[in-house]
Amino acid sequence: MILIAGRTHAAAMAAIHASAFPPGARWREESFAAQLALPGVFGLIDPEGGFILMRIVAEEAEVLTLAVAPAVQRRGIGRALLAEAMVRTRAAGARRILLEVSEQNEAARALYGAAGFAEIGRRRRYYADGADALVLAAML
């Protein structure tokens, strides 16, 4: 089940995010609440333990973050959240989605590749662990 995330989901989003990302990469509950209040930002949450946060600016959208709790990974939740986000983003008028992913994040790269994302750039040593970020894009 995928729901539109509101500010009441900020705590759940922070908990899921903290379970899925290393300590240095975590976002606080207040960050999610603040993001969700911004124009063009929307979130989708699966109460089983996953969410995606998107931002749309005119014809371009961005995946701000996507996380699925380790206990429920590899059950299709991430794929379903991304697919629903792409449908809604297109319906809102965007024509392209961008995102950044660590070149070392094989799970996310496989997920995005299967969803039609292709590499359009690279940010060297972008992450705290020294990994490059790949900039991926998908046309809607």
Least spacing, CB of residue 19 vs ligand COA, in Å: 9
Question: Is 126 known to be catalytic?
Answer: no
User: Looking at beta carbons only, is 110 or 139 nearer to ligand COA?
Assistant: 110
Among the listed residues 84, 112, 119, 127, the single catalytic one is: 112
Rounded Cα gap, residues 68 and 35, in angstroms: 19
Q: Which of residues 21-40 bind ligand COA (CB under 6 A)?
A: 21
**Among the residue ranges 3-11, 31-39, 86-94, 99-107, the one whose residues contact ligand COA (CB under 6 A):** 99-107
Pairing of β 41-46 and β 96-102: unpaired
Which two structure tokens, joined as six digits, stand for 30? 């207040």
**Among the residue ranges 26-34, 85-93, 105-113, 127-135, the one whose residues contact ligand COA (CB under 6 A):** 105-113
Phi, psi (deg, nearest 5) at residue 57: -125, 105
Question: Is 127 known to be catalytic?
Answer: no
Q: Which helix (H) or strand (E) holds 35?
A: helix 29-36
Binding flag, residue 67, ligand COA (CB under 6 A): yes
Which two structure tokens, joined as six digits, stand for 120? 């359009």
